Amino acid sequence: MATYKQLLAQKEALEAQLAEVRANEAAGVLEKIRSLMAEFGLTAEDIEGKPRRGRPVGSVAKAVKEPLPPKYRDPKTGKTWSGRGRAPAWLGKRPERLLIAEEA
């Protein structure tokens, strides 16, 4: 049975061998990629691709919109509604009676 130190030495030797083999294979793969790019006339920009729709990659999102000021107020509960989206049930059939007076 191998000792701990022997196994560590084997591990280091294998890791060194792995790194060497990977470097050799990576060089071969890069050369193959370069030859295929030359054969088909491709550039690095062709490989990266172009954004097709939406925001460009890395762009900053728009600032958060502030909520609209309320136009209607329920006198019983104090709830408000801006006039956008689905109308609340408390608005009823005559919403003009619940309009909030405009500040001058």
Strand-pairing partners, residue 81, are 72
pLDDT at 58: 65
Q: How would you write the pLDDT of the chain (104 residues) with one tens digit per residue?
A: 789 999 999 999 999 999 999 999 999 999 999 999 999 998 888 877 766 677 666 666 677 888 889 999 999 999 999 999 999 999 989 888 899 887 64
pLDDT at 72: 93
pLDDT at 102: 75
Rg (CA), the chain: 34
CB atoms within 10 A of CB 55: 10
Strand-pairing partners, residue 72, are 81, 99
CA distance 80 to 71: 7
What's the chain's length in residues?
Answer: 104
* Domain limits, the chain: 4-47, 65-104
pLDDT at 42: 87
Tell the residue number behind the tokens 């050799």, with chain if given: 24
Q: Which two tokens stand for residue 88?
A: 């609340």
